[in-house]
Structure 1
Amino acid sequence: MNRSQLSRQNLSLLPASVRRPHHDHGRHAPGLVHFGPGAFFRAHQAAYVDDLLAHDPRWGIAAVALRSSGVRDALAAQDWLYTLALMDEQPQTRVIGALAGVTSARDDAATVRALLAAPTTHVVTLTVTEKGYCLAPDGGLDTRHPDIEHDLQSTAEPVSVIGWLVEGFRLRRAAGLPAFTVISCDNLVANGHKLRRAVVELARAKDPALADWIEGEARFPCTMVDSITPATDDALRARVTNALGLEDAWPVQREAFSQWVIEDCFAGPRPPLDQVGVTFTADVGAYERAKLRLLNGPHSALAYIGLLIGHETVADAMADPMVSGFVTRLMREDIAPTLTPTPGLDLEAYGEAVRRRFRNPAIRHMLSQIAWDGSQKLPYRFLGTIQDRLAAGTLIDRLVLPIAAWMHFIRRRSRENATIVDPLAERLAGIGRACTGTAREDVDRFLALDAVFPPGLVSNTRFRAALTWGYAALEVPQAVLGSL
C-alpha cells in the first residue's frame, strides 16, 4: 500500500498518539548552525531544540553535512521533518521540526559561509566524531592530516570542520560581527578545550591576528552528552510507518533517557536550553567523571561478569538479582564515594537513573559488544577508582572483580580461538593461551601489560592480593557475587 510522506502539510494526518512540533516553523532565521546532522544529533540535541522552539523561536537549526548529502536528500521532501522513536517499556513517537534546512558543504559552500556569517547565528554545534577534529597524539592540531593540509592552503573551500570554523570566524571579524560560541557535542573529555586549541592553531598558521581575535572573543564550552542511539534499520522504519500512517525516509531512535551538560561560558546570547532539561554548569568535569565511573564502569562490570555467568544483554544481566545487587552495591558503596558532589548533580539519583537504563528491555545492548577494547576502557573506568579507594584505605574487593572477570574473558576467548576485539588483541591472546588457571601466575601475566596497568598499581601489594583473590574466586562466580 502506498502511503503519503511525512511533511508539514500532512502533520494533521498524524494520530493523536504521535507528538508533533508546537512551534511556528520559519518565523525566525535560525540561531544555531550544526555540523554533522547524523543520527545522534537528530535524536539528541535537535530534540532539545525542538522543545525550546515552542517557547523561544529564535533558535532553529541550520544543519551542515561536510561531505554526505544523504540526510539532505532524505529530509528535503519532508520539509526537514523526521521521526524520533523513544525506546522504553512504553515506547513513544514524536516528529521533530527543529531543522530549518540541511546544506551539503561539498555542494554549496556559499550557503555555509552565509550561515556562519549571519548576524542571527550565535551558536555553532558539532557532532563530527573524534576523527573530525583532526587531532595529533599530543592533543593539538594534526597539520599532516590531509584535510588540514588542504585547509592551510585554501580559505574559500574548507573541507574540515576546523577549517570551516576558522573561515566562519574570519568572515565575522571582517564584517565587524561578534564571534559565535562553538559547542562540541562529541564524546571527548574536555572537548571544548581540545576544539579551541585546534581552531586557534589552524587560525594562527593562516592569520595570527585572526587567532588572537578568536582567543579573545570566541568561547568553546566543554560539554557532556549521553543517550544510547541505535542505528536506523528496517525494523525502525516499519514501526514508524505503522505509528504515523505516513512514510518517513530517515527516522531515528534512542532510549528515553537523555542528558546534555554544557559549561556556562558563552560569547553572546545563550539559548535558554535549561528550560527544556539541559544543565548549565561551571564544572562539566564532575559530570564526566560521574558518567565514566558510575555509568561506563558498571557497564563494563556487567559485560565481563554477565558473560562469565552466561547472560547475553545488559537487560538480561540486570534481570539477574545477584548481578543487579552486586552492581548496585558497587555503585553506591565503592564508586560514588570517590566522586565529588557538584551543584545540580545528585549522585544517588544519577546512579538510580543509570540502573533504570540498564534494565530497559527495549534496548538490546549485547554484552559481547561492550566487552570490546577492554584494555583501553578499563584503565579509565576502574583503575582510577581503585587507586582512590586504596589511598583512602578502604576495601577494593568488589572493584577488582570486573578486572578479574576481564582476565577470565580473555582467557576463555583465547582457549576457544575466538576473535578478541582489542588494540592489544595479539598480545592478549598470547597471555590468554599461556594461562593455566593458577591465580597468582595468571594475574602476573596480565599485570605485565604496562599499557594497561600503571607501575604504582602493579607494585601495590593490596591491589595484587585483592586481584589474585578475585581471579581465583571467579572460577565459581555465583558464590563470590552472592557474598559481595
Structure 2
Amino acid sequence: MTCKLSLATLAEAAKTATIPAYERASLKAGIVHFGVGNFHRAHQAIYLDDLFNVGSDHDWAIIGAGVLPSDAAMRDKLAAQDFLTTVVEQDNNKTAARVTAPMIDILPVGEPDVMIAKLADPEIRIVSMTITEGGYFIDASGKFNPAHPAIAADGQNPAAPKTVFGLIVAGLKARKDKGIAPFTVMSCDNIPHNGVVTANAVVGTAKLSDPAFADWIKANVSFPNGMVDRITPATSQREIDFLKENFDIEDNWPVYCEEFKQWVLEDRFPMGRPALEKVGVTFVPDVTPYEHMKIRILNGGHAAIAYPAALMDIHFVHESMENDLIRAFLAKLENEEIIPIVPPVPDTSLADYFKLIERRFLNPKIADTIPRLAQDGSNRQPKFILPSTLDNLRQGRDVVGLALVSALWCRYFFGKSDSGKDIVFNDASAERLHEAAVKAKDDPAAFLAFDDIFGDVAKSELFRKRFAYALKTLWEKGTKETLQLYLDGKLAV
C-alpha cells in the first residue's frame, strides 16, 4: 500500500527506503539555502543527511529560500510533506531509495522582510545557493553585470530586494547594524571559481546603493570556492510514478540521481561549518585544479554531446553514448583538445577520470535527457566549452573539435533537427540565438557576433575559419557525416 510521505509516515516508508536515523525535532537551522531544486537535494542536502545520520552537527540544518515562482511551487510541494525528500540513487547495477530530512523549513517567496530577518539570525552561519549558471548576472568574460534590470532595481531599492544577491546584501547589512558577525556565502553551482563569482555579484550589488558597505563586504565576508558533482536529471511524472510503483511512496517531488557524488571545498568558514569531512567532502586550500577538471571534462563533455544528439533525434544521454559516432567524437575531443590543457589535479589521473565520466554518461537508469543538457547554452557554453577553446588558441593549438561543438550549437539553434523535426529551445537568449543561427547558414560570422558569449574566442581568425567550415559541412552533409569527417581527420581546411 502506498504511503504519502510525511514525518508521520516514516515508519511506513522504512519498509522500502532508508529513513533518517535522527529525530527531525533535534535539528536547528544553521544554513539558509537559495534554490531548493533537484541538485541541491541530491548533493548538499545528502551530505548533511549523512552527517546527521552519524549523530553529528545537528545545529546545521537547512532553511530553504528562493525568489522565483518555481521556488514558491517547490515550497508548497515540500511543505505538504514536512520538507522531506525521497532521493532515488541509481547506479548501473542497483536502485535504492532514501528519505532525507535535513531541511526544516522554506521561507515564503516574495516576502523580503521575512528573508532578511532570517538572514540576520545569528544562528545562520552559512548562506548557500544553487541558482544555476545563469543566475549570477555575468557575461562571457565572467564579469558581473550591475546594469542588469533586476540588479539595478535592487540597487535603487535595497530595503526590499528581489534578487538573491540583493537579499544577501540586505541580510549582511542587518547583521552589521546589530553587531552580528557576517555569515559565509557558499555557491554550490557549476561555475569556475564560483566563490569569486558570487563575491563579485554580492559586492557589485551592494556598490549600487552603498559603496562603503560594499568595501566592508569585500574585506569581511568569506566566499569559498567549491566544486560540486552529481548527475541529477529533472523530475517528471515518470519519476513520481516510478517511486509509487516500486517503493510504495508518494512524494510530490522526488529526486533521482546517480550513485556517484563529489564535493571539494576551500576551507574558509570564519563562522564555523559542519564537519562534512566525516562524510566524504574534500577540504583543500585551492579548489582550482578540481573545478578545472570537472567543469571542462564533465560539463564540457555534456555540452559537447548535447547538440549532435539533438540534431540526430536522440532523447536520452545514455542513448547518445551508445551511438558509436557520438561516443567516439567525445573521446577524440576530450583526449585531443580538452584534457591536454587541464592542469594536473592532486592524486588524480585525468585519463581515469574521463573513463569514469564515460561510465556515468552510459548509466541508463539515470534517464538524463538531451533536452536538459541542451538548455541554457548561452550561459553554459561560455563556462564549459569556450574557456577550453580560448586556452587552446592562446597556446597555439588547433581547435577543430571545439569549433565543431560551437558549430553544432549554432546548427541546433536553427530550430530543426537533421530529420526536420522542430527543436524546442530552453534558453533565455533563444530568440536572438535563433535569429543569428538562421543568418549564419549563409553568413557564419552572424552567430559569432555575441561578445557576451564568445568574447575573445570570436576574434581568432583560426577559430572563425574552423567554425565556418564545420557549419558549412553540417549544412551540406548532415551531423553524422560531419562527425565521421572529424573522426577521420578530414574536417579541417
Aligned mates of 1:286, 1:466 — CA distance in 2: 33
Asked if the contact 2:137/2:145 (under 8 Å) is kept, the reply is: yes
CA distance in 2, matches of 1:177, 1:106: 25
Are 2:59 and 1:61 equivalent residues in the alignment? no
Which runs of structure 2 are paired with 1:384-423 in the superposition (5 Å)? Answer: 384-385=387-388, 388-389=391-392, 402=405, 413=416, 416=420, 421=425, 422=430, 423=432
Match among 438, 458, 468 for residue 429 of structure 1 = 438
Aligned with residue 226 of structure 2, among 223, 227, 247 = 223
Q: How does 1:277-296 map to 2 (within 5 A)?
A: 277-296=280-299
CA shift, 1:37, in A, is: 2.0
Who is 2:171 aligned against?
168
TM-score normalized by structure 2? Answer: 0.79
How far 1:46 moved relative to its partner?
Answer: 1.2
Does residue 74 (structure 1) correspond to residue 74 (structure 2)? The answer is no
Bigger shift: 282-291 or 76-85?
Answer: 282-291
- Over 3 Å counting, the alpha-carbon distance change for 1:253 and 1:430 in structure 2 is same
Q: Which residue of 1 aligns with 2:365?
A: 362
Kept in 1, the 8 Å contact 2:445–2:464? The answer is no
Q: How does 1:145-184 map to 2 (within 5 A)?
A: 145-146=149-150, 148-149=152-153, 152-153=156-157, 155=159, 157-184=160-187
Q: Is the 8 A contact 1:290 1:339 kept in 2?
A: yes
Find the aligned partners of 2:112 and 2:386 in 1 and give their Cα distance: 48
Secondary structure at 1:428's aligned position in 2? helix
Equivalent positions of 1:231-380 (< 5 A) are 231-306=234-309, 311-321=314-324, 323-343=326-346, 345-367=348-370, 370=373
Q: CA deviation at 1:429?
A: 1.9
| Secondary structure of residue in 2 paired with 1:9 | helix
Amino acid at match of 1:5: K
Partner of residue 101 from structure 1, selected from 91, 105, 113: 105
Contact 2:233 2:367 in 1 (8 A): no
Residues 41 and 190 of structure 1: CA distance in aligned 2, closer, same or farther (over 3 Å): same
Name 2:21's counterpart in structure 1.
22
Q: Between Structure 1 and Structure 2, how many residues are aligned?
A: 470
Contact 1:141 1:197 in 2 (8 A): no
Measured in 2, the distance between the counterparts of 1:374 and 1:158 equals 28
Structure 1 residues 246 and 382: alpha-carbon distance in aligned structure 2, compared to 1, 3 A threshold: closer
Q: Is the 8 A contact 2:444 2:471 kept in 1?
A: no
Once the two structures are superposed, residues 328-361 of structure 1 have per-residue CA deviations (whole angstroms, 9 ceiling, x without a partner) of: 3432344212110132554233212211121011
Indicate the residue corresponding to 1:7 in structure 2. 6
Which runs of 5 or more residues in structure 2 are unaligned?
none
Q: How far apart are residue 273 of structure 1 and its match?
A: 1.9
Would the aligned equivalents of 2:184 and 2:223 in 1 still touch at CA under 8 Å? yes
Q: Cα deviations across residues 447-476 of structure 1 (Å, max 9, x unaligned)?
A: 575435846632479968996998799774
Is the 2:29–2:124 Cα contact (8 Å) retained in structure 1?
yes
How far apart are the structure 1 equivalents of 2:339 and 2:351? 8
Residue 51 to residue 326, structure 1, CA distance change in 2 (3 Å): same
How much has 1:96 moved relative to structure 2?
0.8
Is the counterpart of residue 127 in structure 1 residue 136 in structure 2? no
Higher deviation after alignment, 174-183 or 231-240 = 231-240
1:91 equivalenced with 2:95 (yes/no): yes
Q: 1:16, CA displacement in angstroms?
A: 4.5
Alpha-carbon distance change, 108 to 241 in structure 1, aligned in 2, over 3 angstroms: farther
Report which stretch shifted further, 208-217 or 12-21: 208-217
SS of aligned partner of 1:426: helix
Contact conserved, 1:84 with 1:95, CA < 8 A, in 2?
yes
CA distance in 2, matches of 1:174, 1:273: 31
Q: What is the rounded CA distance, in whole Å, between the counterparts of 1:390 and 1:342 in structure 2?
A: 22
CA, structure 1 residues 233+263, in 2 after alignment: closer, same or farther (shift >3 Å)? Answer: same
For 2:206, which of 194, 203, 207 is the aligned residue?
203
**Which of the pair has more CA radius of gyration?**
1
Q: Deviations over 1:165-223 (max 9, x none)?
A: 22222232233222110112234443322322332344345445543432222111223
Out of 444, 447, 464, the position equivalent to 1:446 is 444
TM-score calculated relative to the size of structure 1: 0.80
- Name the CA distance, whole Å, in 2 between partners of 1:476 and 1:400: 16
RMSD, matched Cα: 4.0
342-351 or 160-169: bigger deviation: 342-351
Q: Is the 8 A contact 1:117 1:171 kept in 2?
A: yes
From the superposition, tell whether residues 161 and 411 of structure 1 become closer, same or farther in structure 2 (CA, over 3 Å).
Answer: closer
Q: Could you report, residue by residue, the CA deviation over 1:265-300 in whole angstroms, capped at 9, with x for unpaired residues?
A: 222213222332333333333333323431233334
Letter in 1 for 2:48: V
Partners in 2 of 1:88 and 1:339 — Cα distance? 28
In the aligned structure 2, how far is the partner of 1:212 from the partner of 1:392? 37
Q: Could you say what secondary structure the match of 1:125 adopts? A: strand
Query: In structure 2, what is the Cα distance between the partners aligned to 1:251 and 1:475?
Result: 37
Instruction: Supply the distance in 1 between the matched residues of 2:332 and 2:405 (Cα, whole angstroms).
Output: 13
CA contact (8 A) 2:40 2:130 kept: yes
The Cα offsets for residues 206-247 of structure 1, whole Å up to 9 and x where unpaired, read as 445543432222111223333333333222222222344343
Greater Cα shift, 225-234 or 463-472: 463-472
- CA distance in 2 between counterparts of 1:376 and 1:229 reads 19
AA of the residue aligned to 1:446: P
Q: 2:150, 2:409 → 1: CA distance? A: 38
Question: What is the SS of the residue equivalent to 2:256?
Answer: strand
Identity of aligned residues (%): 33
- CA pair 447-483 structure 1, distance change in 2 beyond 3 A: same
Specify the SS of the correspondent of 2:175: helix
Judge conservation of contact 1:143–1:149 (CA < 8 Å) in 2.
Answer: no
| Corresponding position of 2:51 | 52
CA 1:212–1:431: 2 relative to 1, 3 Å: closer
Structure 1 runs not aligned, ≥5 long: 435-444
Helix, strand or coil: the match of 1:23? Answer: coil
Give the direction of change, closer, same or farther, for the CA distance of 1:15–1:336 in structure 2 (3 Å limit): same
Amino acid paired to 1:62: I
Listed one character per residue, the Cα deviations across residues 60-103 of structure 1 (whole Å, up to 9, x for unaligned) are 11222336543333333433212112244322211011012122
Cα distance in 1, alignment partners of residues 403 and 5 from structure 2? 52
Aligned-partner Cα distance in 2 for 1:414–1:186? 30
Q: Partner residue of 1:38?
A: 37
